[in-house]
């Protein structure tokens, strides 16, 4: 199959300008729109599997790296939810036709924020949302509230917390700017309306986004069809072969819901 096309999109102006790297696979609708997690990139296992899925079915696929991530420009330590949401909206605006948005971890939170912003603007091209270990409100619920006294002091004095990461030899940096900005985008505490079907895939052994967190999100989705799948032995990444097959099945179902059935010919 041919490689996806590489594109660059400039977002912001002045000192806030940054160049985003995009990988786009041309194809038929509905398109698949990928939103990765914190410190992940667009060539990870799930993103690559989603692209291969789209290629096999002739679907358009859009992936990109947030600023400070992967191939994109910008300083990671300047990253905030507002900044990355602005980028997601800018990249989404370069797509056409109905889209199925797939968000992993932080990308799950951004998927819901993206959809809300689009609906408020009158854009209704998101036909389904698939969330993998969604880290909704992560800056508050999964970061600030879990910090030790020492980490809270570091956040106050240095503006930065560095935590060990099981996925990298480098520490996991969390800035005061990220925490403070995230407070503007919290979703818990009121109902979340998406206007489209939602699928949640959650690992039972996920220590980064515990299953209880995903169930809390589930309790907020009261107005739209929701499918929740718990993978009892799954971790945060959900990137094993069997996990990727679950993701493909979820996308297949979303496509079936998004594409109207052709009327039968009556003789």
Rounded average pLDDT over 140-150:
97
| Relative orientation angle of helices 45-57 and 241-258, to the nearest 10 degrees | 50
Cα gap 55→61, rounded to integer Å? 8
Give the total number of structural domains in the chain.
Answer: 1
> What are the residues facing 165 on neighbouring strands?
168
Rounded to two decimals, the pTM is 0.95
Q: What percent of the chain has pLDDT over 90?
A: 91
pLDDT attached to residue 158: 96
What is the pLDDT, as a whole number, of residue 257? Answer: 86
Confidence of residue 267 (pLDDT cuts 50, 70, 90): very low
**Model pLDDT, residue 3:** 87
Mean pLDDT of 142-156: 96
Whether the pLDDT of residue 261 is over 60: the answer is no
Alpha carbon distance 18, 87 (integer Å): 10
Residue 105 included in any domain: yes
DSSP tag of 233: T
The span from the CA of 115 to the CA of 48, in Å, is: 23
Residue 65 falls inside a structural domain: yes
Closest CA to 49 of 247, 206, 231, 200: 247
pLDDT mean across residues, the chain: 95
Cis check: omega of the bond before 106, within 30 degrees of 0: no
Cα dihedral sign for 25, 242, 202, 259? positive
Give the pLDDT confidence score for residue 263 in this predicted structure.
Answer: 53
Alpha-carbon span 98 to 85, nearest angstrom: 19
Query: What's the average model confidence in pLDDT over 134-153?
Result: 97
Does residue 177 sit within a domain?
Answer: no
Catalytically annotated residues? 105, 206, 236
For 238-256, the pLDDT digits (tens) are 999 999 999 999 999 999 9
Distance CA 183, CA 163 (A): 21
CATH number at residue 129: 3.40.50.1820
Give domain status of residue 121, yes or no: yes
Asked, for residue 149, whether it belongs to a domain, the answer is: no
Q: Which of 123, 7, 19 is nearest to 61 (CA)?
A: 7
pLDDT tens for 33-75 read 999 999 999 999 999 999 999 999 999 999 999 999 999 999 9
Has residue 225 been placed in a domain?
yes
Domain extent, residue 109, equals: 5-138+190-258
Evaluate whether residue 143 is within a structural domain.
no
Residue 178 within any structural domain of the chain: no
């Amino acid at each position: 199959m041919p490689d996806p096309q590489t594109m660059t999109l400039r977002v912001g102006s002045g000192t806030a300008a940054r160049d985003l790297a995009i990988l786009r696979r041309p194809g038929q609708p509905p398109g698949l729109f990928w939103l990765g997690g914190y410190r992940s990139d667009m060539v990870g296992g799930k993103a690559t599997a989603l692209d291969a899925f789209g290629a096999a079915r002739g679907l358009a696929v859009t992936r990109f790296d947030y600023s400070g991530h992967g191939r994109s420009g910008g300083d990671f330590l300047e990253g905030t939810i507002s900044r990355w949401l602005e980028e997601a909206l800018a990249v989404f605006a370069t797509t056409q036709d109905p889209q199925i948005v797939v968000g992993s971890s932080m990308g799950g939170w951004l998927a819901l924020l993206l959809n809300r912003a689009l609906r408020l603007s009158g854009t209704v091209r998101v036909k389904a949302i698939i969330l993998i270990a969604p880290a909704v409100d992560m800056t508050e619920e999964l970061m600030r509230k879990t910090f030790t006294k020492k980490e809270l002091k570091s956040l106050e004095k240095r503006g930065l917390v560095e935590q060990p990461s099981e996925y990298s030899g480098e520490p996991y940096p969390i800035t005061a700017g990220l925490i403070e900005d995230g407070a503007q985008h919290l979703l818990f505490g009121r109902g979340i309306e998406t206007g489209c079907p939602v699928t949640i895939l959650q690992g039972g052994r996920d220590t980064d986004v515990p299953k209880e967190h995903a169930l809390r999100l589930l309790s907020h989705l009261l107005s739209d069809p929701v499918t929740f799948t718990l993978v009892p032995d799954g971790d945060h990444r959900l990137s094993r072969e069997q996990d990727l097959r679950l993701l493909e099945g979820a996308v297949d179902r979303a496509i079936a819901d998004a594409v109207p059935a052709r009327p039968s010919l009556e003789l």
